[in-house]
Structure 1
């Protein structure tokens, strides 16, 4: 089932001589449960695309449709609510609140949405992420890998339809990188979610169902090996 579709998505920055076409007529379709890796050189448009897919930035023209909803037909308020409930973001920088414990950081999106966290699901998440014994620790008491696991838990707590990950293993060594990708692939399979990930790591990209290459704002697709071994 189709979960995400873009139609002639364009993003332009500046004007006249300073005009930069970051994205050019992007047409991308992603199926529910699919793991898509987006790869490309710095400045190719990867992050611009991810931000438009997540409703963080507005396109110059074109559409992004997620689960039947045209994101940019929504008001700013409705878009913020949709983003909070349907999309989970994971970034290279962990962006954890330093005065909150791992458990509190994970549950924060629910509190911001004025909803009670599903305690059994939160416990299951922390167990899956290997944070059960660390849930009361502050971010500065956690390793880099544990901080990224906490950020993943925060992204998953709302049970979003789509996970958007921007270089989530960029600050980690190879062992922790593999563990993080293992956890993400396990989580999206377990909860039937969709994962779209920007990565420079060819080993990470090979784990995806499909690789999307982007160059100078233009999309090129190729099939991946689909190596989902743990």
Structure 2
């Protein structure tokens, strides 16, 4: 059984003539440790699917199971806790808190949960991400690539089961993009996490274990690439 299991997932917005069906009866299973790339044209439903996987939005109908938990059977409070502890989010726009240092941004999910920071894990993350020399800098003192490294650290701070990345290299040049994808692959392998990544870059998608193509709210292709496991 996969770490992520989706059953007959539907999501629509609006009513009548303005109704938009963002996802149509999508079913999918993703296994522990897989790197899955989701591709498709703008407006195809990629981000909607990612948000439903992470408990950010609620489906119109259908089920999402993560680690065997039916996440939309949880209360709002339980769902918020689930998101903090089980899911790491990485976005195209880094969403860092401007008044917090790089290290404080990384540890923010733990502090919000009133959990003690694991100093060993934090040190390991900072070193993997190449932020040792920048850990006490504010976001506006960091380059775009460094800010995205901080957002990756924040996503991994709780050692989540799954990492959801929505166009994580969209604002970066090709050199930084490659470094960010390499970092993600190293990190999820080290911590045996599942990486689900939206991208328009087919070079990035080709590095995944699977490429799922979505068009008009439907999965039209689910291809195993033949790459070695992360």
CA–CA distance in structure 2, aligned partners of residues 2 and 16 of structure 1: 36
1:183-218 deviation digits (Å, cap 9, x = unpaired): 000000010000000000011001100000000000
In structure 2, distance between residues paired with 1:120 and 1:94: 25
Residue 2 to residue 218, structure 1, CA distance change in 2 (3 Å): same
- SS of equivalent residue, structure 2 residue 133: helix
2 CA distance for matches of 1:53 and 1:60? 13
Rounded to whole Å, the distance in 2 between the matches of 1:183 and 1:102 is: 17
Distance 2:192 2:226 in 1: 20
| Residue aligned with 2:90, SS | strand
Aligned to 1:119: 119
Q: Give 1:223 deviation, angstroms.
A: 2.0
Shift of 1:2: 1.4
Q: Does the 8 Å contact 1:2/1:32 carry over to 2?
A: yes
Report the equivalent of 1:224. 225
Match of 2:99 in 1: 99
How far off is 1:89 after superposition? Answer: 0.2
How far apart, in 2, do the equivalents of 1:225 and 1:171 lie?
Answer: 29
- Superposed CA deviations along residues 85-118 of structure 1, whole A, max 9, x for unmatched, are 0000000000001111100000000000110110
Q: Describe the SS at the equivalent of 1:203.
A: helix
Q: CA RMSD in A?
A: 1.2
| Structure-2 separation of matches of 1:160 and 1:92 | 19
Aligned to 1:168: 168
How far off its partner does 1:226 sit? Answer: 2.4
Q: Secondary structure at the match of 1:28?
A: strand
The size of the alignment, in residue pairs, is 229
Deviation of 1:8 after TM superposition, in Å, equals: 0.2
What's the counterpart of residue 138 of structure 2? Answer: 138
Partner of 2:43: 43
> How big is the shift at 1:227?
7.0
- Deviation for aligned residue 1:73: 0.4
CA distance in 2, matches of 1:144, 1:14: 36
* Aligned match of 1:18: 18
* Cα distance in 2, alignment partners of residues 184 and 165 from structure 1: 10
Does the Cα contact within 8 Å between 2:34 and 2:229 map onto a contact in 1? no
The answer to whether the 8 Å contact 2:50/2:164 transfers is yes
Please list every run of 5 or more consecutive structure 1 residues that lacks an aligned counterpart in the other structure: none
Q: Is the 8 A contact 2:8 2:26 kept in 1?
A: yes
Q: What is the TM-score with the length of structure 1 in the denominator?
A: 0.98
Unaligned runs of 5+ in 2: none
